Amino acid sequence: MADRYLRLTSTAPGRFLTRRLGLPQPTPLRRWSERTPALDGPLLHLTAGPKGLDGLADTATRAGLPPASGTPGERYAAVLLDATHLATPADLAEVHTALHPVVRRLAPSGRIVLAGAPLSAADHHQAAAQQALEGFVRSLGKEIGHGSTVNLLRLTDPAAAESTLRFLLSPRSAYLSGQVLDTTGTLPTSPGDPARPLAGRTALITGAAQGIGAAVATALARDGAHVLCLDVPGAQAALTRTAERLGGTPLPLDITAPDAAEHIASAAPDGLDALVHNAGITRDRRLANMPAERWNTVLDVNLAAVLTTTDALLATGAIRRGGTVIATASIAGIAGNTGQTNYAASKAGIIGLVRALAPRAAAEHGVTVNAVAPGFIETRMTAAVPLLIREAGRRMNSLAQGGLPEDVAETTAWLADPASAAVNGQVIRVCGQSLLGA
């Protein structure tokens, strides 16, 4: 369903009316397309602290934006602040000194990325200063406005962060704000072609017939992957249309079937490089009115099937070394939601799965494990939500609008990129910096 309020506020009368009434004024977001693959304008690279991180400037240049020229009054598509060497609370003054003069010169749908360091267990002063950046980023994200985003990237080696910087400094990250991304895991073996990073790789997406799953399959196919599109047999017609459109393979299958993993392995005899668990259902009711069948069905599809399928495919080596598992959580699993005890439990379970399995899967199988946690995304499911609740879902985030399936898909594609191998064990919220949850 179209966001008519967003359309209204994009007109001069709508802007005047909503300003007078003190209502949210969302800015239409600049998203990736073949016609608009990059942000418009230069990248301003700044340093806070005694020095910057060696190699970060060169890595940022390869992310695709031209460097700022220093012309008076220049507007920036993005600002990258290197704060990796902040080590004391006194150093934090340099964050203010660096950003205060330039924050108003950020273009609409711009990006601010702070580069920070991992928290030192041996130096609580450094840990305090670096943790302070998280509160700063989340607060600035809530006040920056104009469709712009603010994120924190923790890193030690710029080479491990190149794909993440490319993602954050592009239209692909339009609905990602107030997030902390860690790129301190295993270095990618080779960066590959940034335009088609999944060329020669195979990806399986569950729940791929429509909605977010179809958008994920589209993004992975665009990036070069052969996509196996899985959904329940009852959705076979839509599933086949999606797979054929992408040159992929339809796989009508109930993911909760005891032999689901065997069927998946048979459909990918050479192995999988990306396993994307997108399939999910809701059966909403307050706990007092929820029969066991509604509880069990949601937990079976959203969590148990993810666990059993992933375990089986890892155990048999069906997910190749250098591959990835990406599961779909939800902000409901972080913040909870009335009438969704079953759904929230299943999505919180996904977060537990990712955090516990990621280090072991990397060590034993050479496979990364991450999750995306969507907020309010414009789908047929959210279109059926009552009007007032739907409007609250759209407006209760820093960007004051709902996300699109493509926003989840772009985040998934970034995680599936083999150059993102240093990202592991993380839950990435694709929620426009929702005001709910942590």
Please report, for the domain that includes residue 72, its CATH number. 3.40.50.720
Domain-embedded: residue 293: yes
Q: Given phi > 0 = left and psi -120 to 50 = alpha, else beta, which region is 334?
A: alpha
Residues 160, 305 share a domain: no
219 and 364 housed in the same domain: yes
Q: Model confidence at 438, in pLDDT bands (50, 70, 90)?
A: low
44 and 77 housed in the same domain = yes
140/228 same-domain check: no
Cβ contacts of 217-222, under 8 Å, gap ≥ 24? 217/242, 217/243, 217/246, 217/248, 218/246, 218/409, 219/406, 219/409, 219/410, 219/412, 219/413, 220/274, 220/276, 220/409, 220/412, 220/413, 220/416, 221/246, 221/247, 221/248, 222/413
H/E element, 387:
helix 387-395
Q: Within this chain, do residues 216 and 166 fall inside the same structural domain, yes or no?
A: no
State the pTM of this model: 0.96
pLDDT of residue 96: 98
Lookup result for tokens 């964050």: 95
Same domain, 106 and 164: yes
Q: Which of 403, 62, 378, 412 is nearest to 223 (CA)?
A: 412
| pLDDT tens digits along 306-358 | 999 999 999 999 999 999 999 999 999 999 999 999 999 999 999 999 999 99
CB 249 within 8 A of CB 229: yes
Query: pLDDT for 192-236, tens place per residue?
Result: 788 899 999 999 999 999 999 999 999 999 999 999 999 999 999
* Calpha distance 121→70 (Å, rounded): 39
Same domain, 123 and 208: no
Residue 2 covered by a domain: no
- Is residue 249 predicted with pLDDT exceeding 70? yes
In a domain, 128, yes or no: yes
Beta carbons of 268 and 204 less than 8 angstroms apart: yes
Tell me which of 128, 149, 182 is where a domain ends. 182
What is the pLDDT confidence band of residue 275, given thresholds at 50, 70 and 90? Answer: very high
Q: Of 5, 76, 175, 343, which one is the catalytic site residue?
A: 343
- Which tokens in the block code for residue 167? 């993602």
Quick one: DSSP state of residue 171?
Answer: G
The Cα–Cα gap between 438 and 436 comes to 7
Name the band, by pLDDT with cuts 50, 70 and 90, for residue 1.
low
Q: Which domain holds residue 284?
A: 202-430
Q: Taking residues 234-258, what's their average pLDDT?
A: 98
Q: What are phi and psi of 285, to 5 degrees?
A: -170, 150
Is 406 within a domain?
yes
138 CB neighbour count, 10 Å cutoff? 19
Residue 377 DSSP label? B
Domain boundary among 182, 216, 239: 182
Looking at the domain assignment, is residue 66 inside a domain?
yes
Domain shared by 219 and 142, yes or no: no
Sort residue 233 into left (φ over 0), alpha (ψ -120 to 50) or beta.
alpha
**Mean pLDDT, to the nearest integer, of 3-24?**
88
Q: Which of 124, 154, 182 is the last residue of a domain?
A: 182
The predicted structure's pLDDT at residue 32: 96
User: Taking the alpha carbons of 210, 212, 215, 220 in that order, is the dihedral positive or negative?
Assistant: negative
Do residues 170 and 234 share a domain? Answer: no
Taking the C-alpha atoms of residue 312 and residue 262, their distance in angstroms, rounded to an integer, is: 8
User: Are 150 and 70 members of one domain?
Assistant: yes
Q: Please report whether residue 25 resides in a domain.
A: no
Residues 155 and 289 in one domain: no
Please indicate whether residue 343 is annotated as part of the active site: yes
Whether residue 108 sits in one domain with residue 254: no
pLDDT in tens, 116-158: 999 999 999 999 999 999 999 999 999 999 999 999 999 999 9
Residue 115 lies in a domain: yes
- Average pLDDT, integer, range 252-266: 97
Residue 23, domain member (yes or no): no
Does residue 202 contact residue 229 with C-beta atoms inside 8 Å? Answer: no
Indicate the helix (H) or strand (E) that contains 125: helix 124-143
Number of folded domains that form the chain:
2
Task: Using the predicted structure, report yes or no on whether residue 399 has a pLDDT greater than 70.
Answer: yes
Alpha carbon distances (Å) from 423 to 160, 223, 369, 402, 431:
9, 19, 9, 26, 19
Tell me how far apart the alpha carbons of residues 306 and 308 are, in angstroms, rounded to a whole number.
6
